[in-house]
Structure 1
Amino acid sequence: MALAALWLLAGLLAVRQAAVVLRLPPERRFSDLETWIGENGVLHVRGSLYDTDRFTGTPFSGLALKPLTKAAEHALGIFWTFGTLLLVVAVALVAARALPGPLTRRAKLLAPPVAVILTVLSLPVRNTFTLGQTSIIPVLLVLLGCCLPAIARGPGRASGILVGVAAALQPAVLLFAPLLWLTGRRRAAVTTGVTFAACTALAWAAMPDDSWTYWVHHLAGAGLGEKPDGLANQSLHGLLLRVGLRGPLELALYAPLALAVTVVGLRRAARYAKDGQPLLATAITGCVAVAVSPTAWQHQQLWILLAVAGRVGKRRADRLVWPVLVVLVMTLPSTILVPANPVLGPLGENAPLLAALAAGCVVPFLSRDSALWDEPLPTPVAEPQRGRFSWVPLLGFFKRSLNRPNLLLELMLIRVFYWAYSFVRAQAPDSRTLAESHGRQIIGIEEFLHIDVEHGFNHFVAGTGWLADSMDYYYGTFHFLVPLSLLGFLYLRRPATYRWARTALGFATLMALVGFWVYPLAPPRLMPGRGFIDTANGPQDLSNPDFGALTELSNQYAAMPSLHIGWSLWCGVVIAIVAPKLWMKALGMLYPVLTFSVIIGTANHYVLDALGGAFVVASGFAIQYALTGPGRGTLAVIPGARGESDALKPEPVRAGG
């Protein structure tokens, strides 16, 4: 069933990608392809291919594309889309076939659909689809020549021809010739050079002026296309230009850096190729090509995704860090990976280049003869325990892990989860009419239950200056500060408690997002005619549907349930569980009480919102309990859970996945 579901997902993603491209307006579809073969494209005219600097391919690629100009424009668009889709699937299947063995039967079955899914979702492939680029072809040719056993283990002639043609289409691929030489496939290396020279000479004979322009005037295409100092150019050359270096100084620094990355990367690639990891060796060499090329646009960065084939980490808990990092970098925009601020922003903007440099020169991939290749250090887990209440069903899907999770992986997933939370909350329905209607429903229910205390308390707070200022500061600061601080403390001092606590918090937040979608609700401060006072933002123009600039920050109608109460109650429960002193537990439970006072006093939530927040937190703990079972009995043997040493008692704990 899992295999069928993965193949279905892969097919749906592939079809969706093709549909997205074909549904684009003609002026936005295949912009690069239209530049080449359109009615006024450079391949139609008799002048130079490079008159406008928009054609970035080699003269040989222009020569190869010329026959396509005879096809009708619409037929060519459909043909190009599905042809590219087939090439992408072929790349994924060859990569899955080249994974180093021995692989389990399950891994052999699941690897192809997973490879297709990751490839289709990657930014380079999506960019290739939209632009109508040909950059997927060199990747496929190199994979066939270097990784497919039927070809790679042959005499070398076929491998050399495939890689040579790829280099004629994308000159940076010529770096694979030294890799072939270093791994003992010297005939293939020589054939690569001869094939590249023959294809280039053929293009030179057919288009001498264009060949001179490309290879000499533009230094192998370095001056073509977009500005090389733009963020789209993820190469060392582009990075140096972005930091302000120009002219001879930039070249003097770029040349030794590129040489050092090439030497280190090729030596590492050769070592892993001899170790029986041809896919990893190919990925490392491709990452080196991305880094040292004068220009490395997004559609040329698929090599980085292939680096997920490498295994990294001694512990089983660390094995996912590298592949997750690569997948996030190659599938998500930089603004999702890191906040857009002056300190972390440059890391996200140059994330593909940093990932390429890490794969090529830094990451300590395991060799196949390592004792940790198939058997990494296991994760200590607690055996399932019986629940206190027999009527509560325990699913037992996951055993409770007892060690500290990988920090980098946690930070990456927390960042992506928070971005997804912010995005979904912002995209939730924000109809003013519906939200105000729900607000009147809430007020009516509270009046019926005689718990409508919001108006009176809000006016009391607004009339007390120091109290209003304190509550406004509390509302905007503690909501994030306290949960993050508590998570940090748990991670450092109570690692297993951190695991179940953050899992419960995650489920509670997901359920809150459902509430934002299902029941958009106007908070008291945005209810017209009710007399509430917005103590934090001042009077709002309720006759303006946008309520001024305030609504540009977030969805103002995501009030039910109140995550201010939800997150603060989560903090209180966790503190009450882990705190060693009674006064600490009482102080922890006081935090949600203070938060309740603040959200009512500042007119940001209703009493029923608070009950909704408490409900989602209780549900989060309940779901976590059902999945992993009770954990109270394991606290004594959790490393650091009670402040003891990391020694584990052997009876209730065993090593497992």
Structure 2
Amino acid sequence: MTISPVRPTTEGAVGNLVGRRPVLFLSAAAAAFVALCVALWPPTKDPYDLQVYVVAARAVLNGQDVYTAHAGDPILLGFTYPPFAALLFAPLGAVSAEVGRLVMSVLSAVALLVIGSITVRALKPHWSTHRMVAVGIALGAAGLALEPVRMTFHYGQINLMLLAILMIDLFGYLPRRFRGVLIGVATGIKLTPGIFIVYLLVTRRYREAATAAAATTATMLIGFLAMPDAAWKFWTTYILDPTRPGSSTLVSNQAWRGVIDRLSGGPQGLGPVWIIAVASTVVLGFVTVRRFYDRGRLLESVLLTAAIGLLVSPISWTAHWVWALPACALLWTRVFSAGETWMRARYRIALAALTTVTFGIGLPWLAPYMDDRELHHHGFQLYLGNSYAICAAVLLLAAAKVSKES
């Protein structure tokens, strides 16, 4: 199956006022949205994760070890990304904190617009470019209603940027010979996007998988060349330290490992229950992914892969679940495009509503948390505290059922 983006013919001749008006309107709308995001998360804020990035960035510029630079601050966690990511963050160390926060908010807002537009194009490939961008801006703005998106802005994280570059690559917006490069770069930044290299293999896009693997290897080599000692320590020591990103039992960890550790009363490490959960998710998930892909349902196959990756990763903080935005758009689009009565579509409506409410409210935060209160959940708290993982599992099972029937 060859994936190529749909590019409708250009609307309006160059210099034609009628052709210019939509462009001006859409540009103004996009600029207003970016300004809104900056107003909601202004440079006066002090995002926690961005502080971690800045400490690592300054360590790069000062020739220090990026993985121990936080040691003088008892509040900060250590930098957890590969050395290549620290190199990309280096410019943040050369500007003021306020400028750095402004840049991160602007980049996340632009990424959100890209995510919205690519999602709309995947759902409505025959829409005009202007209509696609207009609805994409609206979808990006609607994304602010989702807790993972809000938390990404709040903490100054890079989740939306990674999602945007992954979607650009996965949905064919790169020249064919470069497809896979951005997946490899994203993997070199945060490792977890490596699940999409597996996706490329499962869907028999072998050339793209090889390109992605080569790009990932290149990021590793760059890290070793730029900071050999830090790179060696990361790949042999820090990557194996389960406590470095934070406690796995925190309610914000919505991966299978977080669920299992909370239910069992404390960190269990890579125990048999976790291994079984991961193996089952990978096998069932990728069988379903392949079925959807073979039937030309690219967006479903990509989103299912994202769900697999989030569930099997040892740590998936709630802010990592920004994939909920295209997922909600997909689910509601399928509800209204099925052409069925409300009664016949009740299961689709239930899934769409479950996903929207779960990620819109941020249900895990309604359960008791911090100071090990996660280890004493009972009754409905058990559902709330693990609701992202439960919702993802429900969607995977529903998708598996649909893929077998259709």
Give the TM-score, by structure 2 length. 0.76
Are residue 50 (structure 1) and residue 86 (structure 2) matched?
no
User: Which whole-Å deviations, capped at 9, do the CAs of 1:437-476 have from their partners, x for residues lacking one?
Assistant: xxxxxxxxxxxxxxxxxxxxxxxxxxxxxxxxxxxxxxxx
User: Which whole-Å deviations, capped at 9, do the CAs of 1:287-334 have from their partners, x for residues lacking one?
Assistant: 111100111112211123332324479723443222222121112132
Q: Which residue of structure 2 lines up, in the alignment, with residue 144 of structure 1? A: 168
In the TM superposition, residue 16 of structure 1 has moved relative to its aligned partner by 3.8
Q: Which residue of structure 2 lines up, in the alignment, with residue 240 of structure 1? A: 260
Residue type of the alignment partner of 2:259 = L
Larger Rg: 1 or 2?
A: 1
Residue 9 to residue 337, structure 1, CA distance change in 2 (3 Å)? farther
Q: Which residue of structure 1 lines up, in the alignment, with residue 309 of structure 2? A: 289
CA contact (8 A) 1:234 1:352 kept: yes
Task: Give the paired residue count.
Answer: 358
Give the TM-score, by structure 1 length. 0.49
Q: Which residue of structure 2 lines up, in the alignment, with residue 19 of structure 1? A: 39
Residue 101 to residue 93, structure 1, CA distance change in 2 (3 Å)? closer
Q: Which residue of structure 1 lines up, in the alignment, with residue 110 of structure 2? A: 86
CA contact (8 A) 1:305 1:326 kept: no
Residue type of the alignment partner of 1:201 = L
Give the Cα separation in 2 of the matches to 1:10 and 1:367: 37
CA contact (8 A) 1:21 1:129 kept: yes
Q: Which residue of structure 1 lines up, in the alignment, with residue 245 of structure 2? A: 225
User: Which whole-Å deviations, capped at 9, do the CAs of 1:533-588 have from their partners, x for residues lacking one?
Assistant: xxxxxxxxxxxxxxxxxxxxxxxxxxxxxxxxxxxxxxxxxxxxxxxxxxxxxxxx
Q: Which residue of structure 2 lines up, in the alignment, with residue 483 of structure 1? A: none
Give the Cα separation in 2 of the matches to 1:335 and 1:183: 33
Residue type of the alignment partner of 1:87 = A
Q: Which residue of structure 2 lines up, in the alignment, with residue 186 of structure 1? A: 206
Give the Cα separation in 2 of the matches to 1:223 and 1:343: 28
CA contact (8 A) 1:237 1:254 kept: yes
Q: Which residue of structure 2 lines up, in the alignment, with residue 116 of structure 1? A: 140
Report the secondary structure of 1:36's partner residue.
Answer: helix
Q: From 49, 58, 76, give the equivalent of 1:32.
A: 49
Report the secondary structure of 2:271's partner residue.
Answer: helix
Give the Cα separation in 2 of the matches to 1:164 and 1:365: 32
Q: Structure 1: any 5+ residue segments left out of the alignment?
A: 1-5, 371-657
In the TM superposition, residue 350 of structure 1 has moved relative to its aligned partner by 1.2
Q: From 156, 160, 184, give the equivalent of 1:164.
A: 184
With 286-295 and 170-179 compared, the bigger mean Cα shift is at 170-179
Give the Cα separation in 1 of the matches to 2:181 and 2:345: 41
Q: Structure 2: any 5+ residue segments left out of the alignment?
A: 1-25, 71-76, 370-376
Give the Cα separation in 2 of the matches to 1:128 and 1:121: 12
Residue type of the alignment partner of 1:327 = T
Residue 169 to residue 29, structure 1, CA distance change in 2 (3 Å)? same
Residue type of the alignment partner of 1:330 = F
Give the Cα separation in 2 of the matches to 1:246 and 1:197: 35
Where do 1:226-305 residues align within 5 Å? 226-244=246-264, 250-305=270-325
Q: Which residue of structure 2 lines up, in the alignment, with residue 345 of structure 1? A: 381
CA contact (8 A) 1:275 1:368 kept: no
In the TM superposition, residue 135 of structure 1 has moved relative to its aligned partner by 1.9
Residue 16 to residue 188, structure 1, CA distance change in 2 (3 Å)? same
| Structure possessing the higher relative contact order (Cα contacts under 8 Å, 6 or more residues apart) | 2
Q: From 200, 214, 217, give the equivalent of 2:234.
A: 214
Q: Which residue of structure 1 lines up, in the alignment, with residue 349 of structure 2? A: 320
Are residue 97 (structure 1) and residue 121 (structure 2) matched?
yes
Aligned-residue Cα RMSD (Å) equals 3.5
Report the secondary structure of 1:254's partner residue.
Answer: helix
Where do 1:166-565 residues align within 5 Å? 166-219=186-239, 222-244=242-264, 250-308=270-328, 309-310=330-331, 311=334, 315-334=344-363, 342-364=378-400, 366=402
Give the Cα separation in 2 of the matches to 1:176 and 1:67: 28
Report the secondary structure of 2:314's partner residue.
Answer: coil
In the TM superposition, residue 281 of structure 1 has moved relative to its aligned partner by 1.1
Q: From 94, 101, 117, give the equivalent of 1:70.
A: 94
Q: Which residue of structure 2 lines up, in the alignment, with residue 440 of structure 1? A: none
Q: Alignment identity in percent?
A: 20
Residue 252 to residue 48, structure 1, CA distance change in 2 (3 Å)? farther
User: Which whole-Å deviations, capped at 9, do the CAs of 1:72-104 have from their partners, x for residues lacking one?
Assistant: 333232222212211111111111111266779
In the TM superposition, residue 169 of structure 1 has moved relative to its aligned partner by 1.3
Give the Cα separation in 2 of the matches to 1:68 and 1:96: 32
Report which of the two has the higher share of helix.
2
